């Protein structure tokens, strides 16, 4: 579908369909998808992402060249000055702001049409482009392997309300009650006609009273139907909204960790909130649309019964209004999408600022951060203004079209009365029916627009609903298999994305039951990544992790996770009491086990010294505790599980020497397998075996060699 872009008050057709990036580093993929679509290969970003996993570190031009070749586009990288952009084979990808990519589609009158996957499509003056363009561009043309086809995967409606019961019955009830209400709407103008044409000229008070009584009872019946319909819609809408939200949340909580790491929290929240307009339209809009359609057709027949000429005037007005909404739909959709994304970015900045207020306070950066957030808020407000502008154009066209239609209708109708073809009561009745017709057909157009606008929300929810689950939910589960505690790594290799260099390759390691292993090495060598691969939180590029001689997939991720525990660098405490956090909000916490775990983590005495002891609230993300206390509570949480294997990633780095020694001695008595990533001498020295990881691989070393010069080797 062509998009429309505003240039100096005029609409210019754009053949490139803007695709907005979802992950923070996938602007290059979005640009390639846009140009592929321009040449006839419609491919969505989710499909691109699954085939060519982006790296959080961004994609160099060389990566885009490789990906372009794989989707049938011949790339040509060029370096050129700004004034040579018109000579590019457009559309082309421009390197933007040193860390971003955009698509330039056309150049006209000193302006360039830019499609920004992180923003919107707009015409920029050459001087504006100069402030962003780095001088590097990528031309793309279809080669002999290019295929015109659609590779778009969309979310089906049925996937949203699976496992929700009772919706069909509620929908039928709403439909029947809505039809009852419309009977009243159809009958009311006829009451007006009879009163004016029959009762008024004859001064027949009895007839007028009977009419009033009959329609009064009809009104009471109508009010009761409206009351029941509102409650049915409330119940059905609540059930539908809860069901859809529960289904999406269930899917969200099952996604791989990498999915969350590559997205901003505000964007995730805004996607999840797309449930609300879908729920509202499905619970109220569909029944209303069907009823409005029936009523519009019925009133149209009645209008033709009164006068075909007057009915054609109303139909012409409706057709013009329909054309206005059709022409403006593309602009409306783009404006709505831009507004959602802008608000997501603003919310992300606000959440990050609140979370990091201590850092901004320390470095006196509150004003800077406020200014940055205010800029994003301005973008969000401007996005709302663009939505409102489209609405203003639509409402103005609506007022003009139907205002002129009303004038023409009254002129013709009164002329009919003068000619003797119409009575005064018929004029009033026709105007009432005409008003109902235009109102209902207008509602039909609005509901149809809203329905097609839901594709925007479905596309946003698709990023959650269509992503594959974390592999731990698909592996074979052997719940009866008991973990002994040995682990082996066979030729393990890992890279963050297909375009990134290897973090490490062909790592081999065997750890026996009850063995205490310390892994050390320079920062950035991949120690934390290696630990997460052992735990099963990340998936290796190649190689395997064996648990008690079985592959992790065969042993079962869930089974394995139920029998191990870990304290990782980015672990958090949650709002609640210390006991809640140690038991991780267990539905039936074992108080004795909580205290025993706290004793083993050397935190019991400090907890008992507080006024509320184990019911002491930890604050948001553990803000009421010191770094060492927080780390020991996290360790207590791990020990509460009575694990067969314990993984620690700098799990004692914030503790003082005395507490660290107490913790090491306490954990040693458990006799379980322990794998520790550490830099501190005290932690490394307590291990049975020390392994050193660097660019050369994983090797076994002596402790004194690691710290021979007073620090790491």
Question: What does DSSP assign to residue 410?
Answer: H
Long-range contacts of 12-17 (CB under 8 A, 24+ apart): 12/108, 12/113, 12/123, 14/105, 14/113, 14/115, 14/121, 15/105, 16/91, 16/103, 16/105, 16/115, 16/121
Known catalytic residue at 27: yes
Distance separating alpha carbons of residues 168 and 159, to the nearest angstrom: 16
Distance separating alpha carbons of residues 526 and 698, to the nearest angstrom: 10
Per DSSP, the three-state class of 611 is coil
Tell me the CA distances in angstroms from 476 to 48, 296, 697, one per residue in order.
Answer: 29, 57, 31
Burial label, 658 (beta-carbon count in 10 A; 0-12, 13-18, 19+): exposed
Q: In what order do the strands lie in the sheet with 487-494?
A: 504-511, 487-494, 542-547, 550-551
E-state strands within 252-316: none
Per DSSP, the three-state class of 287 is helix
Tally of CB atoms within 10 A around 552: 23
Q: What angle do CA 555, 570, 542 make, to 5 degrees?
A: 40
Q: In what order do the strands lie in the sheet with 516-520?
A: 564-567, 645-649, 673-677, 516-520, 689-694, 697-701
Tally of CB atoms within 10 A around 301: 11
Q: 276: Cβ–Cβ under 8 A, 6 or more apart, which residues?
A: 241
Residue written as token pair 């580093």: 25
Given the residues 18, 19, 27, 383, select the one marked as catalytic: 27
Distance separating alpha carbons of residues 182 and 295, to the nearest angstrom: 7
Burial label, 305 (beta-carbon count in 10 A; 0-12, 13-18, 19+): exposed
Q: 451: Cβ–Cβ under 8 A, 6 or more apart, which residues?
A: 281, 285, 289
Q: Decide if 78 contacts 524 (C-beta within 8 A).
A: no
710, 651, 704: which is closest to 531 by C-alpha? 651
Distance separating alpha carbons of residues 8 and 387, to the nearest angstrom: 18
Q: Decide if 683 contacts 494 (C-beta within 8 A).
A: no
Question: Could you tell me what percentage of the chain is helix, strand and coil, using 3-state DSSP and rounding each to the nearest 5?
Answer: 55, 15, 30
Q: 306: Cβ–Cβ under 8 A, 6 or more apart, which residues?
A: 422, 426, 429, 430, 433
Per DSSP, the three-state class of 612 is coil
Tokens of 230: 């509102």
Long-range contacts of 537-543 (CB under 8 A, 24+ apart): 537/257, 538/257, 538/258, 538/494, 539/256, 539/471, 540/492, 540/493, 540/494, 541/493, 541/494, 541/495, 541/502, 542/491, 542/492, 542/493, 543/489, 543/490, 543/491, 543/492, 543/493, 543/506, 543/507
At residue 229, φ and ψ (nearest 5 deg) are: -60, -40
Question: What does DSSP assign to residue 617?
Answer: B
703, 704, 700: which is closest to 691 by C-alpha? 700
Positions annotated as catalytic residues are 27
């Amino acid at each position: 579908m062509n998009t429309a872009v505003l240039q100096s008050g005029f609409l210019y057709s754009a053949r490139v369909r803007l695709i907005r990036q979802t992950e923070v580093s996938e602007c290059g993929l979005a640009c390639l998808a846009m140009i592929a679509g321009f040449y006839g290969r419609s491919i969505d970003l989710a499909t691109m992402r699954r085939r060519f996993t982006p790296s959080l570190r961004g994609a160099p031009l060389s990566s885009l060249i490789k990906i372009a070749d794989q989707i049938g586009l011949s790339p040509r990288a060029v370096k050129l000055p700004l004034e040579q952009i018109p000579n590019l084979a457009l559309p082309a990808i421009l390197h933007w702001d040193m860390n971003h990519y955009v698509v330039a589609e056309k150049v006209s009158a000193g302006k360039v049409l830019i499609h920004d996957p992180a923003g919107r499509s707009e015409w920029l003056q050459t001087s504006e482009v100069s402030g962003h363009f780095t001088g590097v561009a990528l031309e793309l043309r279809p080669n002999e392997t290019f295929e015109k086809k659609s590779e778009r995967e969309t979310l089906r409606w049925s996937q949203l309300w699976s496992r929700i019961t009772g919706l069909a019955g509620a929908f039928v009830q709403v439909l029947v009650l809505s039809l009852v209400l419309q009977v009243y709407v159809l009958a009311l103008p006829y009451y007006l006609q009879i009163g004016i044409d029959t009762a008024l000229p004859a001064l027949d008070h009895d007839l007028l009273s009977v009419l009033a009584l009959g329609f009064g009872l009809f009104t009471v019946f109508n009010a009761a139907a409206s009351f029941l319909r509102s409650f049915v819609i409330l119940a059905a809408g609540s059930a539908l909204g809860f069901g859809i939200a529960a289904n999406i949340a269930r899917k969200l909580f099952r996604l791989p960790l990498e999915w969350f790491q590559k997205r901003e929290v505000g964007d995730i929240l805004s996607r999840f909130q797309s449930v609300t307009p879908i729920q509202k339209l499905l619970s109220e809009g569909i029944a209303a649309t069907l009823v409005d359609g029936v009523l519009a057709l019925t009133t149209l027949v009645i209008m033709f019964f009164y006068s075909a000429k007057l009915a054609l005037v109303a139909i012409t007005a409706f057709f013009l209004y329909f054309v206005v909404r059709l022409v403006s739909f593309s602009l409306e959709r783009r404006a709505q999408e831009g507004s959602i994304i802008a608000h997501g970015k603003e919310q992300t900045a606000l959440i990050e600022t609140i979370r990091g207020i201590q850092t901004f306070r320390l470095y006196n950066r509150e004003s800077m951060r406020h200014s940055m957030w205010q800029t994003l808020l301005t973008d969000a407000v401007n996005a709302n203004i663009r939505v409102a502008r489209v609405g203003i154009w639509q409402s103005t066209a609506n007022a003009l079209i139907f205002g002129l239609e009303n004038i023409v209708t009254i002129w013709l109708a009164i002329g009919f009365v003068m000619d003797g073809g119409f009575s005064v009561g018929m004029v009033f009745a026709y105007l009432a029916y005409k008003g109902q017709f235009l109102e209902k057909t207008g509602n039909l157009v609005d509901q149809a627009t809203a329905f097609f606008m839901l594709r925007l929300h479905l596309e946003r929810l698709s990023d959650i609903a269509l992503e594959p689950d974390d592999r731990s939910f698909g592996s074979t589960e052997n719940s009866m298999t008991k973990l002994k505690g040995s682990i082996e790594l066979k030729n393990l290799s890992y890279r963050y994305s297909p375009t990134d260099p290897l973090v490490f390759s062909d790592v081999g390691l065997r750890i026996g039951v009850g063995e205490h292993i310390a892994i050390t090495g320079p920062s950035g060598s991949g120690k934390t990544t290696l630990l997460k691969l052992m735990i099963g939180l990340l998936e290796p590029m190649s190689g395997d992790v064996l648990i008690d001689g079985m592959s992790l997939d065969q042993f079962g991720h869930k089974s394995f996770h139920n029998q191990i525990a870990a304290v990782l660098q980015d672990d958090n405490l949650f709002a609640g009491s210390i006991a809640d956090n140690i038991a991780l909000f267990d539905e039936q916490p074992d108080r004795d086990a909580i205290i025993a775990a706290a004793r083993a983590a050397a935190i019991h005495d400090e907890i008992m010294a507080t006024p509320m002891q184990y019911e002491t609230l930890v604050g948001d993300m553990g803000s009421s505790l010191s770094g060492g206390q927080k780390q020991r509570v996290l360790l207590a949480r791990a020990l509460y599980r009575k694990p067969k294997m314990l993984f620690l990633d700098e799990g004692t780095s914030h503790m003082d020497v005395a507490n660290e020694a107490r913790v090491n001695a306490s954990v040693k008595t458990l006799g379980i397998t322990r794998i520790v990533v550490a830099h501190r001498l005290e932690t490394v020295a307590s291990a049975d075996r020390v392994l050193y990881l660097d660019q050369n691989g994983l090797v076994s070393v002596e402790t004194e060699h690691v710290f021979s010069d007073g620090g790491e080797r």
